Amino acid sequence: MKTTLKLSLLAIALTATSCFNKEKEPVKAEDITVSQEMVAELTSPPHVPTPIGRRKAKKLIVNMEILEQEGELTSGVRYNYWTFGGSVPGSFIRARVGDEIEFTLSNHPDNKLPHNIDLHAVTGPGGGAESSFVAPGHEKTFSFKTLNPGLFVYHCATAPVGMHIANGMYGLILVEPEGGLEPVDKEYYVMQGDFYTKGKNGERGLQPFDMQKAVDENADYVVFNGSVDGLTGDNAITAKVGETVRLFVGNGGPNLVSSFHVIGEIFDKVYVEGGDLINENIQTTLIPAGGAAIVEFRVDVPGSLVLVDHSIFRAFNKGALGILNVEGEEDKKIYSGEIREGIYLPEGPGIQNMPTTDEVVESEIPAKSFEEQMKFGKQIYMQNCFACHQSEGQGIPNAFPPLANSDYLNADVDRAISAVVNGLSGEITVNGEKYNSVMTRQMISSEEVANVLTYVYNSWGNSKKVVTKEMVDKVKGK
Ligand code: HEC
Ligand SMILES: [Cu+2]
């Protein structure tokens, strides 16, 4: 009702101005002239540049540097990212309608590949891709006028395009309308992306891109802001009770569409697909790959709001989960319950927290036979040791020593028990290879240590010892 009334008043006002004041008709974007120039402020996620407010259209200089650099996809998992400006998603660009953007794309000399940029805000061939194709150690400049307001994706469009995007080459450019967006208290930059690694989710080490999984759209990670921790822990975003929050949400893909939802909030407004259409009172908004949306809401109660892709296994098992911490006074009228932090503990192997207490719960069902010890032991192995020592105990060269046919293991049972119950660090030699790393103490019961070591000793060519709970307790007692 209210909106309809406002709209009709607006319509009357508009008709009135256009009848009585012909000169004040809005200028078409292509006819807006620019006089001054300024260098664009670029920001890395989750930050966005200063709002444009009432500033006039200008020649806006954007200097974007492409960097290929190693980073952490999740704890222990390294990935070779390709980035616009050193972050995934790339630097946020903020412009207004009528700006003339002079865009310089430089490809760092240490990079291995040529790249380019396709900005969905460009009216022109390839969105700029054709004019910006640039080899390592070179730079290219092109310019374009921003004709349409909205929130737009940009991405690399160099073949194989999917691979460049999958490696992190995407970001957002906001083109504000004349007069700017309405001011809000907090603005943040969030962008989803799917990742494809040779190893499974959680498998450690430097993981290469897996082309086949990407073609099959079988993502190992679906994340916000480039990594599983991209928007949690120290990277969580914040607001205070009573503040209005605006999220610029993009989806780089390359493959998956996002069912973007904030657990514990309702979007007061959604700029559908990042355009002019405003929808109100929305629970979940669909963000296509290569698309974006602006969502706005007022935070009314304190607590941790959880940003997710509501294709929910992606959130809890593949990383598509972020936190907005809201501080302030409780309002029992709006929400009466006890608000606990960390209620949505991530479950996936890639995002699971290590147990933090020192207490080890003793398992209740002791193994009754060698066969049972082997069976239970294998389960523990797959849960606790597999990620580092690998399925056949083969380990990972230069990182995790083998347990298969391990001379270190077979030489001394007490030493092996101690490695599991106390942890192990410093230089050791296993089958002639040196390792100098850290294995943290394993939070499992004596019974479980006995079972897992019995399994290890009786697999993969090891010396077939049987380890008992008593042996483990003896080592613990020392
Ligand atoms: C987070 C990775 C990680 C996990 C999980 C892990 N280990 Fe290790 N493990 C290591 C590293 C690293 C070393 C070498 C430490 C060093 O360099 O001093 C090691 C060394 C060992 C050794 C001695 C060296 C050898 O190859 O014989 C044994 C035995 C062992 N681990 C058993 C286990 C068992 C059993 C489990 C599961 C209950 C386990 N580890 C879980 C990383 C891990
Ligand atoms: Cu590229």
Residues 105 and 241 in one domain: no
H helix intervals, 242-355: 312-318
Nearest to 267 by CA among 240, 286, 289, 290: 286
Q: How many CB atoms lie within 10 A of CB 304?
A: 18
pLDDT recorded at residue 355: 39
Residues 194 and 157 in one domain: no
Hey, whose CA ends up nearest to atom 7 of ligand 1? 439
List the CATH number of the domain containing 317.
Answer: 2.60.40.420
Which atom of ligand 1 sits closest to the CA of residue 426? 18
The parent domain of residue 379 ranges over 370-477
Per residue of the chain (478 residues), what is the pLDDT tens digit? 344 445 454 444 444 444 444 455 677 888 899 989 999 999 999 999 999 999 999 999 999 999 999 999 998 999 999 999 999 999 999 999 999 999 999 999 999 999 999 999 999 889 999 899 999 999 999 999 999 999 999 999 999 999 999 999 999 999 999 999 999 999 999 999 999 999 999 899 999 999 999 999 999 999 999 999 999 989 999 999 999 999 999 999 999 999 999 999 999 999 999 999 999 999 999 999 999 999 999 999 999 999 999 999 999 899 999 999 999 988 877 776 654 444 344 444 343 333 344 455 555 578 889 999 999 999 889 878 887 788 899 987 777 899 999 999 999 999 999 999 998 988 899 999 999 877 878 888 899 999 999 999 999 999 999 999 999 999 998 6
List, chain by chain if needed, residues with CB within 6 Å of any ligand 1 atom.
384-385, 387-389, 400-403, 406, 408-409, 416, 419-420, 424-426, 428, 430, 435-439, 442, 452, 456
DSSP letter (8 states) at residue 298: E
Task: Kindly give the distance from the C-alpha atom of residue 142 to the centroid of ligand 2, in angstroms, as a whole number.
Answer: 17
Hey, whose CA ends up nearest to atom 10 of ligand 1? 439
Residues 121 and 207 in one domain: no
Distance CA 372, CA 272 (A): 57
Exposure string (b/e) for 60-79, b if CB count within 10 Å is 16 or more? bbbbbbbbbbebebbeebeb
Residues 36 and 148 in one domain: yes
Q: How many CB atoms lie within 10 A of CB 408?
A: 18
The answer to whether position 272 is within a domain reads: yes
Residues 151 and 83 in one domain: yes
Q: How many domains does the chain have?
A: 3
Residues 201 and 126 in one domain: no
Residues 431 and 284 in one domain: no
Residues 176 and 226 in one domain: no
Distance CA 474, CA 478 (A): 7
Task: Kindly give the distance from the C-alpha atom of residue 405 to the centroid of ligand 1, in angstroms, as a whole number.
Answer: 14
Read out DSSP for 221-265? EEEETTSTTTTSGGG-EEEETT-EEEEEEEEEESS--EEEEEET-
pLDDT recorded at residue 398: 75
User: Which pair of structure tokens corresponds to residue 196?
Assistant: 């494809």
Asked if 156 and 169 count as a contact pair (C-beta separation under 8 A), the reply is yes
Task: Kindly give the distance from the C-alpha atom of residue 440 to the centroid of ligand 1, in angstroms, as a whole number.
Answer: 8
Question: Pairing state of beta strands 291-298 and 267-271?
Answer: antiparallel
Residues 30 and 98 in one domain: yes
Of 134, 162, 181, which one is at a domain's C-terminal end? 181
Best substitution site from 360, 421, 439 to test ligand 1's pocket, by max atoms within 8 Å of Cβ?
Answer: 439
pTM score: 0.63
Residues 414 and 460 in one domain: yes
